[in-house]
Amino acid sequence: MRDSPIQTELGTRRLKLLLDNQEHALEIREVALKNSHRLVTLIGAAALIWIFAGFSADAADKIKVNEKKSAATVGINERGGRSLDNQGGPDGFGYKWVDNLTGDTATYSWIELRGDPAATWLDFSDDPDDAVLPATIGFEFPIYGMTFSTVHVSTNGNLQFTTTDEAFSANCLPDPIINGPMICAYWDDLHLDNGGYDPGGTITVAYRNFGDHFVVEWDSVGNAFGINTIYKFEAILWTDGRIKLQYAQVEPGVNVGFETVGIQAGSSGPALQYVCYDAGHQPTANLAIWIYQCNTGTVTGFVRDGQGQPISLATVHLAPFSIATTTDFSGSYAFPMACVGTYSMTASRAGYLDGVVNNVVVASGQTTHADFTLQWMGIYNFFSSDVPRNTEDMDTVTSTLAVSQSMIIGDVDVQLSITHTYAHDLLIYLTAPGGQTIMLSNQHGGSGENYTNTIFDDDAVSPIALGNTPFTGSFIPDELLSALNGSDAQGTWTLSIGDFVSGDDGQLISWEIHVTPALAADDPIAAHAEEFALAGNYPNPFNSTTNILFIVPRAAPVTLTLYNLLGQEVRTLINSTVQPGTHSVAWDGRNANGMDAVSGLYLVRMDAAGFTSTGKLFLLR
């Protein structure tokens, strides 16, 4: 029997929620065959249409779930982006998650093993705190391109496939120590003796094979700190690689907010994370999380400069997801497992204007090609000679560098190397010549060691708070360096490292800043513009006026329009024919009616002769 179509539209160009069980997004059927064999069916559809996100998932992006016996049947067709429930991913292998916080896409249906004569209970009596025991899955379970018939069950709430690590201290994913596939149902410092089902007992973890799915249940386990904390949760593995995590009871005591939930392929990723510490969604009672792999295709291409030479180490993003890769020496890149959909892609490299390719269509099992040509902007590197400097317990050490030439900052990054045996001790912050202070890293890294060639870059993929030691590569700082855009780089820069915990010493080995000047109209680089570009704005964030830079290689009609995050037009700054060259237009933070716009994130969109690019502006009142 079919449900009647219901259409609810919330605002122009904002949100469309379509309930129809034929061809729209989400179909959910849950069958609970318990006792009276009651049947509950929920059929619905949801789609958020994001006007400027540049992404719409393909109808072929489906998961078909056929849960039998005491489980459920769920089918998901994604069309237009996001459902009403929380969603996450994809990671670099195409894994996504969706939960049941509003119940429109995923459903909670607990499978109880306590009292089930077919369940096997693991004996952790030798070590109920930190131990791992094997369990036979009963079929070949696929995860990250590998298959396994055995899994290693940890007292600390995770499943490992190639490792048997007893680690009690949960890290964000990918975990730098556990180098293998892992499912973190509720990875934390758990203790079986402290549980609520049988305090002092150790028979609280069980597993069972149901034919087409395999269940591991942690039944009322406790926390290692012995405080009133009870967790009852389970992981369900399906023959086709889908994973469902369910939480029947979560009663945290004072030791809350330190868990990790998600999956990983290995210590270097890819990884899909639901929560890590307090970053994400805290599991609660009656929560269900589906983890599944989307239909995928491949995206390849080259990044070159204006002379056709390859650009290595350029970062290529698939928007709107936090998925990125870098180019090799030949300038080539590849996304071998990109989810089916239509994307806006960007390529960036320090010293170059970002390149954008819109409407990149990824089809299931097909290869799509997208090339970029980046325009050189010019970049200046300044190195500190005030190194090395020893970091002392309970003290702050400073190091300086001098910039002798005057230049307006269009972008600035910081690179440094620090040796220290307990990274969490350190507060690292930068003071610019104008006196502005930017917190780069505020006590991250736990008990791990070292910052090794760490680059703080606002355009990086991951925040430093979610990184793992040794911090190597690019990270978003705790406070955005873009606050310095529009100021003069000339003068003395100071790097400060505070160590306010005793017992560990270290050393600042080196540090430098990379400054990309804002383009001026008489800049010789800008005078030879070869392509349209939206070149950013400064200052950003701003509290009164910001200058938006854009480049026009030939006379063309140009429109520069501001939108809020609801997709509503705020103001049109330019709508006329513009001559070749680099141009700047100011926005005074007012809307089309002359009223002050509220604080927040705004989008600026440039349209010119078939070229489209979107940037972000942060207005702070």
pLDDT digits (tens, 9 = 90+) for 197-229: 655 556 789 999 999 999 999 998 888 776 667
98 lies in some domain: no
Predicted TM-score of the model (pTM): 0.52
* Residue 521 pLDDT greater than 60, yes or no: no
pLDDT of residue 195: 64
Where are the strands (E) in 210-286, listed by range? 213-223, 230-238, 243-251, 260-264, 271-276, 279-280
Phi, psi of 456, deg, nearest 5? -95, 115
Q: What share of the chain is helix, strand, coil (3-state, %, to 5)?
A: 5, 50, 45
Are 188 and 278 in contact by the 8 Å Cβ rule? The answer is no
- Exposed, middle or buried: residue 117 (CB in 10 Å: 0-12, 13-18, 19+)? exposed
Tokens of 180: 């293998």
91 lies in some domain: no
110 lies in some domain: no
Find the CATH number of the domain harbouring 583: 2.60.40.4070
111 lies in some domain: no
pLDDT of residue 256: 56
If asked whether residues 345 and 384 sit together in one domain, one would say: no
Are 392 and 322 in contact by the 8 Å Cβ rule? The answer is no
If asked whether residues 157 and 284 sit together in one domain, one would say: yes
If asked whether residues 145 and 276 sit together in one domain, one would say: yes
* Residue 525 pLDDT greater than 60, yes or no: no
pLDDT (mean) for 169-182: 89
If asked whether residues 555 and 429 sit together in one domain, one would say: no
* Mean per-residue pLDDT over the chain, rounded: 78
93 lies in some domain: no
Check residue 617 and report its DSSP letter.
E
If asked whether residues 144 and 262 sit together in one domain, one would say: yes
Which of 317, 340, 373 is the C-terminal boundary of a domain? Answer: 373
pLDDT of residue 199: 55
* Residue 450 pLDDT greater than 70, yes or no: yes
If asked whether residues 244 and 284 sit together in one domain, one would say: yes
Considering only 52-61, 110-119, 350-359, 412-421, which range has the smallest mean pLDDT? 52-61
73-77 and 26-31 beta bridge pairing: antiparallel
* Residue 267 pLDDT greater than 80, yes or no: yes
Looking only at Cα atoms, what is the longest distance across the chain? 81
Angle at 216 between CA 214 and CA 221, to 5 degrees: 170
pLDDT of residue 350: 67
pLDDT of residue 260: 92
**Enclosing domain of residue 28:** 6-84
Of 563, 566, 570, 567, which is closest to residue 596 (Cα–Cα)? 570
If asked whether residues 532 and 596 sit together in one domain, one would say: yes
Tokens of 34: 């318990």
Segment of 16-30, 133-147, 252-266, 314-328 carrying the highest mean pLDDT = 133-147
If asked whether residues 301 and 285 sit together in one domain, one would say: no
* Residue 520 pLDDT greater than 80, yes or no: no
Q: What SS3 state is found at 528?
A: coil
User: 140 or 51, which is more confident?
Assistant: 140
* Residue 534 pLDDT greater than 70, yes or no: yes
463 lies in some domain: yes
pLDDT digits (tens, 9 = 90+) for 341-366: 999 999 988 667 889 999 999 999 99
Quick one: pLDDT band at residue 574, thresholds 50, 70, 90?
confident
pLDDT digits (tens, 9 = 90+) for 145-170: 999 999 999 999 999 999 999 888 78
pLDDT (mean) for 565-571: 86
Full DSSP string of 332-365: EEEEEEEESEEEEEEEE-TTBPPEEEEEEEE-TT
Which of 485, 517, 549 is the C-terminal boundary of a domain? Answer: 517
Full DSSP string of 138-167: EEEEEETTEEEEEEEEETTSEEESS-----
Of 309, 315, 407, which is closest to residue 354 (Cα–Cα)? 315
pLDDT (mean) for 448-473: 89
90 lies in some domain: no
- Measured between alpha carbons, how far is residue 291 from residues 96, 245, 294, 581 in Å? 6, 8, 10, 49
Which of 472, 493, 517 is the C-terminal boundary of a domain? Answer: 517
Residues 6+ apart with CB under 8 A from 438: 429, 430, 431, 432, 477, 479, 480, 481, 483, 484
pLDDT digits (tens, 9 = 90+) for 9-44: 223 222 222 223 333 333 322 323 223 322 222 222
pLDDT of residue 528: 44
If asked whether residues 472 and 593 sit together in one domain, one would say: no
Instruction: Enumerate helices (H) and strands (E) in the chain, giving the number of each.
Output: 1, 48
Find the CATH number of the domain harbouring 327: 2.60.40.1120
Residues 6+ apart with CB under 8 A from 39: 31, 32
Q: How far apart are CA 231 and CA 606, in angstroms?
A: 51
- Exposed, middle or buried: residue 579 (CB in 10 Å: 0-12, 13-18, 19+)? exposed
* Residue 173 pLDDT greater than 60, yes or no: yes
If asked whether residues 300 and 289 sit together in one domain, one would say: no
Nearest-Å Rg of the Cα atoms of the chain is 26
Segment of 240-249, 531-540, 596-605 carrying the highest mean pLDDT = 240-249
- Measured between alpha carbons, how far is residue 542 from residues 29, 35, 280, 436, 517 in Å? 49, 62, 28, 14, 18
Quick one: pLDDT band at residue 601, thresholds 50, 70, 90?
confident
If asked whether residues 547 and 610 sit together in one domain, one would say: yes
Q: What is the tally of structural domains in the chain?
A: 5
Find the CATH number of the domain harbouring 470: 2.60.120.260
Burial letters 218-239, b for 16+ CB under 10 A, else e = bbbbbbbeeeebbbbbbbbbbb
If asked whether residues 52 and 16 sit together in one domain, one would say: yes
Q: Which one-letter amino acid corresponds to residue 115? A: G
Quick one: pLDDT band at residue 177, thresholds 50, 70, 90?
confident
- Measured between alpha carbons, how far is residue 187 from residues 236, 283, 424, 465 in Å? 16, 12, 20, 18
pLDDT of residue 198: 59
334 lies in some domain: yes
Of 163, 144, 141, 145, which is closest to residue 153 (Cα–Cα)? 163
Quick one: pLDDT band at residue 291, thresholds 50, 70, 90?
very high
Q: Is the peptide bond before 174 cis (omega within 30 degrees of 0)?
A: yes
